[in-house]
Chains A and B, each alone.
Chain A
Amino acid sequence: MVVNKTASELQSLLHSRELSVKELTEATLQTIEEKDKTIQAFLTVTGPEALAAAEQLDNLPDEKRGSLFGMPIGIKDNIITQGIKTTCASKMLENFVPVYEGTATERVKDSGMVVVGKLNMDEFAMGSTTEHSAFQITRNPWNLDRVPGGSSGGSAAAVAAGEVLFSLGSDTGGSVRQPAAFCGVVGMKPTYGRVSRSGLVAFGSSLDQIGPITTTVEDNAMLLSAIAGADYRDASASEKPVPDFRNALTGDIKGLKIAVPARYLGEGVQPEVREAVQKAIGVLESLGAHVDEVDLHYSRYAAPTYYVISSAEASSNLARFDGIRYGYHPADAKNLNEIYLRSRSEGFGEEVLKRVLYGTYALSAGHHEDLYERAQKVRTLIAQDFQNVFKEYDVIVGPTSATNAYKLGETIKDPLTLYANDLLTTPVNLAGIPAISVPCGFAEGLPVGLQIIGNHFEEAMLYKVAHAYEQATEFHKQTPPAGEGN
């Protein structure tokens, strides 16, 4: 079956005309229909639109065929798609159809990709299990009783299950990397400003980045090259030139200087996860890298800092949902204020309401200085911590998540367990630096992710290290049982 092939195998079949984009798209839609009955990764499957796009692509002459020609992709449902429902997995936007296209998806299409649907997530990207979706529970393809992680759980699960080879997620505090780790796939959180946020429904505007999720490092590098770069619609999108990240995949990491923060492998990290990551570090050493232990002192303050800043930004960003211009509209409201109150109370789920309340509190007169401004100052310390390490080291490595995938319904009652996990991912967003998660083994039969963190705009370095590691191991070749069509 064509869908079991790699992206480069599919590309050569398309270029030699042995396979048409339409055939590939049809096969993909059929696979989604079969596998998504159990996985439940897709909120919307865009069959007719995808087939129409495929037919147009089949008529393109070779010289107009983009770098990812014909490749099917799924898009997290907080990235807007013109004419296609974009819900943020929220009752608030249950019937919302955007009137313009986001920059990342526009570039995905320009590179020849076919959007096959929109993927489940935690409501407004707030959560780390995808259980906060207002619509459905997505399952981890490696074990259907486990969560896929979150908030980009649908994006990671769809790729892991073999429904699509490519997806886009978004990462505000770990939401691309942690689900990638839980589902055994590759997830990149680019440098803040590397990818335009135009079209990404805002959660924490100083933290959000769109990132690719794929089965291999090479595919990931190709997708980031396609979507990155300056954009007049997002003033924070960097003017820095975007290299072809594939050029970094040399396999040569001799002499590379790697820092391992002691606390990344400390308390709270599951022993099997620690073991898998230590083995991975051993592999990097055997490839000629030099490894030292370092101290990232302020990382233990990252999670509380993250919750203050992201909630404050969310409370401001989500003020736009007022039930007037779009979104959930309560029936029979007697006056304007009642529309506001009821559309927000009835349209938002509990996790979103909690964060809006916390953010409102953190920004209020009387608490602004003590909470919000203090968090901004600690953010400075966390960012400086990283800069000190990058003066001497090329990359920082550690686990992506402290544990393997949680059982469905297991940890949602204990938010602090979830928050403790954020020690590993949130500092990266606070500092605005890039990080990638690659599969590095298993803990109790569930995938473990190796996180590689780099300095601003050093994605090429991350791809180089991740690729060298990937090629030296076999983990990326393993597929979950549900991925085989069970």
Chain B
Amino acid sequence: MSNFTKEDIQYYANFARIDMPDAEAEKFATRLDTLLEFSDRLKELDTTNVEPMTHPLAIVNVLREDTPEDILDRDEMLKSVEDHEDGLIKVPNILD
């Protein structure tokens, strides 16, 4: 059984900002079908009245004073940036 069409894959790829040509989309459709079929096993279980687990430990947030710490060096950080000017990151046109 096939769950995902090429168009489905392209629809979700767009949310994740992944370029998805037709041939690639067909390949990923098959792979995601396999994963989704695997997840069908979870439907065997009755999960009504089960609380979803969002975190492995029951811990409370630890807060601290909002004082700046671990300030990183801007010049060091800009070394990994492709294009920058006056300490600001440059990107191409946002709109065509």
- Please report A residues at the B interface, Cβ cutoff 8 Å: 95-97, 99-100, 191-193, 206-207, 232-233, 235-236, 238-239, 298, 300-301, 303-305, 307-308, 311, 315, 319, 322-327, 329, 333-342, 344-345, 348, 353-354, 356-358, 360-361, 364, 371, 373-381, 383, 415-416, 419, 429-432, 456
Contacts and interface: CB of A to CB of B under 8 A. Distances in A.
B57 A236 contact: yes
Given A333-B92, A371-B39, A373-B52, A238 B57 contact: yes
B62 A357 contact: no
Given A308-B39, A336-B94, A377-B51, A353 B17 contact: no
Nearest to A348: B18
B91 interface: yes
A156 to B, nearest CB: 24
DSSP class of A's interface residues: helix, strand, loop or mixed? helix
Contacts of B72: 99-100
B3 to A, nearest CB: 10
Nearest to A432: B56
Contacts of A325: 77, 80-81, 89
A416 B40 CA distance: 14
A380 B18 contact: no
Contact of A364 (B12, B32, B40): B12
Given A235-B61, A358-B32, A383-B56, A375 B18 contact: no
Interface in B40-77: 40-45, 47, 50-57, 59, 61-62, 64, 69-70, 72-73, 76-77
Contacts of A429: 56
A352 to B, nearest CB: 10
B57 A99 contact: no
Contact of A96 (B55, B64, B80, B93): B80
Contacts of A342: 19
B45 A301 contact: yes
A338 B93 CA distance: 10
A415 B36 CA distance: 13
A304 B39 contact: yes
A471 B82 CA distance: 54
Contact of B12 (A95, A322, A357): A357
Given A193-B59, A308-B39, A322-B17, A99 B53 contact: no
B95 interface: yes
B61 A376 contact: no
B52 A377 contact: yes
